Amino acid sequence: MNHLTETQLQSLADGTLRGPEGLAAREHCEACGACGSELQVWSALVSQLSTLRDPEPPMDFTATVLAAVEVREAHLVTRRHTLLAAIPAFALALVAIVGWGLSTAGDVGNLLQGASALRVVWGVVGPVFAATRIPLGIGAFVFLAVVLTALSRTLRPAYARVSEP
């Protein structure tokens, strides 16, 4: 003789086991003393749980939520204004660079001399960099910068911190 599982007894007690399965389970509980007593325990638990009420929210719950929303919106507005301020600054820098490039375009000879001087300097400095493993140091620095940036993203920003009284 198979007894009912706890899931079946719980479902029968809270009324979610219906239809032919529920009828068969109820008949089994009437015939089986062990399952009948388990069903009584589960039914008592369900009746006790149904008398419980949800706790009342704190009096300042709405004000706290609205204040948090206001802080978040202010942060988003600040970010939006910063981005909007960066666009004209970028455009101004681009105009300045293009203007400088156009002003030196008339003096191509000086520009070529500067490029050849840079090529000579790089030819001298290149072996020094290779000998002292500067690229390895630069790579390590870039890796460290990426890791620190990723870690800083996991910290909670100041506006999201809750001050403790």
Once rounded to an integer, what is the mean pLDDT over residues 49-59?
88
Query: Which phi and psi (to 5°) does residue 27 adopt?
Result: -65, -40
Once rounded to an integer, what is the mean pLDDT over residues 39-63?
89
- Residues 36/12, Cβ–Cβ less than 8 Å: no
- Residue 109's pLDDT is 64
Four-point Cα dihedral 146, 151, 152, 155, nearest 10 = 170
> Is the torsion defined by CA of 145, 146, 147, 150 positive or negative?
positive
Q: Is it the case that residue 165 has pLDDT exceeding 50?
A: no
Separation between Cα atoms, residue 107 and residue 99, nearest integer Å: 14
Four-point Cα dihedral 70, 75, 81, 85, nearest 10 = 160
Once rounded to an integer, what is the mean pLDDT over residues 127-147?
76
Q: Which two tokens stand for residue 44?
A: 């008592």
Residue 147 pLDDT level (bands cut at 50, 70, 90) = confident
Separation between Cα atoms, residue 114 and residue 120, nearest integer Å: 10
- Residues 14/43, Cβ–Cβ less than 8 Å: no
